[in-house]
């Protein structure tokens, strides 16, 4: 018997930064549209995934399946980029995904693949399902990703070799120093893979993107205008964000010593410092950051990982491997001197609860899009400290377009940011009223977009849900007819 509610299959690529937004999308389908949802997870720490299960709404409508681990050791170089490794893992997981979907009776209604799962779209075709791509990042990143593979050799050379900006029709140009690493070396596997992803994204029934109309009006507008960017991909773009994990309210979470410490601090007095699920700094930069925080005389919470020279994303696959990050690489006496003013948290913190706490008034962030959105929905201004992936583009957008962040003069990936500059940025972000006001405006804009009474993102997702419902009804009518 065919269910009367759509069954959505969501595919999440490795890494918590990919899993969390997919999980949120799944939750919205369940809570707002009463869908059945199955999330397939690839190579993401199962204990962390399982820990999210207790949080799920309506668990009988929700299923999270970890696909069997794949061995890619013979398929990619040891020193290949993380993106290449992720893409190959996703590719090697396709047979398991295919057989899992084929065993589902009745067949699911739609497949939602994330950025690195676009090769799975063909599986949706095989089972006559609708197919969408969910970009957990922003429209600007999406525009660059789908536009770059369509440019000619001359434009490519101008961007890569002559370091000219990438002129995306109707959008703000992407400066060379902000460009995606994947674009830089045509001989690298990541370049070839990434171009393929860019071409595949607009081949589905729609693209869902984790942004909202009022945050990126110009880019979204040009993606729909067929004279501009729309000519490279004619599928509808649905801005459905911000998709962020809501703050946990269970008693267990509240008992955390970090949150207890925050409870005792004045309103908006603490800066939170974190570089996402895998970002690391060099040993020298750690020392400068430690001094910068101390000299600023502002309260802080700093999620600290052991330094890793020459590898800014070194802890990416290693998040939950225990808290072995003893901060012996910090300046002598740092913890003692800052005992009243700051907390050092090894490896991993409850970020969503911290950013949602009223004592937090600033965020020094690597500008991962989840972290950025978590800051925005809580009205917290930022210091933009981009490290890898699309974070440099995000940092430029946050500082130069949206006006909700400050950033160092040099890129943190190109030079060591000194203690005096850090001290100055921390002070500025904690006291500057204009940036704080802008952050609060943005928080309201995000709330408005998500509102069930006519919010643009709420309506966008409802449109996608409607397409799934219509497709299912067509199928049921066929079976009955
Ligand atoms: N995160 C967290 N605690 C940490 C570090 C990260 O909860 O100590 C979460 C953070 O809240 C966000 C995600 O991990 O939801 C990181 O995603 P983001 O896109 O910001 O960066 P990525 O890790 O993918 O570079």
Q: Summarize pLDDT for 178-219 with one digit per residue, the tens.
A: 999 999 999 999 999 999 999 999 999 999 999 999 999 999
Q: Which two tokens stand for residue 261?
A: 């410490």
Distance spanning both ends of the chain, measured CA to CA: 14
Going from the Cα of 432 to the center of ligand 1, the distance in angstroms, rounded, reads 26
- How much is the pLDDT for 324? 35
The answer for residues whose C-beta is within 8 angstroms of residue 10's C-beta and 6 or more apart is 22, 25, 26, 37, 38, 39, 40, 112, 114, 134
What does the DSSP 8-state code read for residue 418?
A: P
Q: What percent of the chain has pLDDT over 70?
A: 92
Q: Which atom of ligand 1 is nearest to the CA of 345?
A: 8
Averaged pLDDT score across all residues of the chain: 91
Distance CA 79, CA 69 (A): 20
For ligand 1, whether the C-beta of 274 sits within 6 Å is: yes
For 299, phi then psi, to 5°, come to: -70, 150
- Indicate whether 313 pLDDT > 80: no
Question: What is the average pLDDT across 382-402?
Answer: 96
- Indicate whether 385 pLDDT > 70: yes
At how many degrees (to 10) do helices 433-450 and 419-431 cross? 60
Q: What is the dihedral of CA 248, 252, 258, 260, to 10 degrees?
A: 100
Which of 1 and 278 is assigned the larger pLDDT?
A: 278
- Indicate whether 377 pLDDT > 50: yes
For the sheet with 110-114, list strands across it.
Answer: 62-66, 36-41, 7-12, 110-114, 130-135, 206-209, 237-239
Going from the Cα of 372 to the center of ligand 1, the distance in angstroms, rounded, reads 9
- Indicate whether 316 pLDDT > 80: no
Inter-residue contact 148 to 229 (CB < 8 Å): no
Task: Specify the DSSP element, H or E, that contains 405.
Answer: strand 405-406
- Indicate whether 325 pLDDT > 50: no
Distance CA 217, CA 205 (A): 22
Owner of token pair 């998500």: 450
- Mutational test site, ligand 1, from 368, 380, 398, max ligand atoms within 8 Å of CB: 368
Give the up-direction half-sphere exposure of residue 157: CA atoms within 13 A in the CB hemisphere: 3
For ligand 1, whether the C-beta of 13 sits within 6 Å is: no
Q: Which atom of ligand 1 is nearest to the CA of 371?
A: 20
CA max distance for the chain? 77
- How much is the pLDDT for 58? 81
The region of weakest confidence among 25-34, 55-64, 70-79, 470-479 is 55-64
For ligand 1, whether the C-beta of 14 sits within 6 Å is: no
Residue 468, classed as helix, strand or coil, is: helix
- Indicate whether 114 pLDDT > 50: yes
Inter-residue contact 365 to 371 (CB < 8 Å): yes
> Which residues are designated catalytic?
18, 114
For ligand 1, whether the C-beta of 21 sits within 6 Å is: no
Distance CA 143, CA 168 (A): 8
């Amino acid at each position: 018997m065919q269910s009367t509610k759509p069954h959505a299959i969501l595919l999440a690529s490795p890494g918590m930064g990919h899993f969390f937004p997919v999980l949120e999308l799944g939750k919205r389908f369940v809570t707002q549209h009463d869908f059945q949802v199955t999330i397939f997870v690839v190579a993401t720490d199962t204990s962390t995934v399982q820990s999210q299960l207790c949080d799920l709404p309506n668990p009988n409508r929700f299923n999270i399946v970890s696909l069997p681990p794949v061995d890619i050791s013979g398929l990619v170089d040891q020193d290949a980029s993380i993106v290449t490794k992720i893409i190959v893992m996703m590719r090697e997981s396709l047979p398991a995904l295919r057989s899992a979907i084929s065993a589902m009776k009745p067949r699911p209604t739609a497949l939602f693949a994330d950025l690195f799962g676009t090769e799975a779209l063909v599986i949706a075709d095989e089972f006559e399902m609708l197919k969408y791509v969910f970009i957990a990042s922003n429209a600007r990143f999406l525009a660059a990703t789908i536009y770059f593979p369509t440019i000619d050799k001359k434009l490519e050379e101008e961007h890569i070799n002559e370091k000219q900006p990438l002129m995306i029709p109707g959008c703000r140009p992407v400066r060379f120093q902000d460009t995606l690493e994947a674009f830089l070396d045509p001989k690298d596997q990541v370049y070839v893979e990434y171009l393929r992803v860019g071409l595949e994204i607009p081949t589905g029934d729609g693209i869902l993107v984790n942004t909202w109309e009022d945050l990126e009006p110009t880019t979204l507008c040009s993606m729909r205008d067929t004279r501009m960017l729309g000519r490279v991909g004619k599928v509808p773009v649905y801005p459905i964000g911000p998709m962020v994990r809501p703050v946990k309210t269970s008693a267990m979470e509240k008992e955390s010593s970090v949150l207890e410490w925050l409870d005792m601090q004045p309103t908006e007095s603490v800066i939170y410092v974190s570089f996402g699920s895998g970002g690391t700094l060099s040993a020298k930069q750690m020392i400068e950051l430690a001094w910068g925080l101390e000299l600023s005389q502002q309260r802080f919470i700093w999620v600290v990982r052991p330094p890793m020279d020459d590898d800014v994303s070194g802890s990416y696959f290693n998040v939950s491997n225990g808290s072995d990050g003893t901060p012996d690489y910090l300046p002598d006496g740092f913890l003692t001197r800052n005992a009243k003013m700051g907390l050092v948290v090894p490896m991993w913190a409850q970020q969503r609860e911290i950013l949602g706490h009223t004592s937090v008034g600033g965020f020094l962030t690597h500008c991962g899009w989840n972290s950025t959105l978590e800051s925005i929905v809580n009205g917290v201004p930022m210091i933009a400290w981009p490290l890898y992936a699309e974070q440099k583009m995000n940092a430029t957008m946050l500082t130069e377009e949206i006006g909700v962040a400050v950033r160092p003069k040099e890129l943190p990936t190109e030079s060591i940011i000194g203690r005096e500059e850090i001290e100055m940025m921390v002070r500025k972000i904690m006291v500057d009223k204009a940036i704080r006001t802008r952050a609060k405006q943005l928080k309201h804009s995000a709330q408005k977009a998500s509102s069930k009474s006519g919010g643009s993102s709420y309506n966008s997702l409802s449109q996608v849900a409607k397409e799934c419902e219509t497709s299912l009804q067509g199928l049921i009518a066929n079976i009955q007819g």
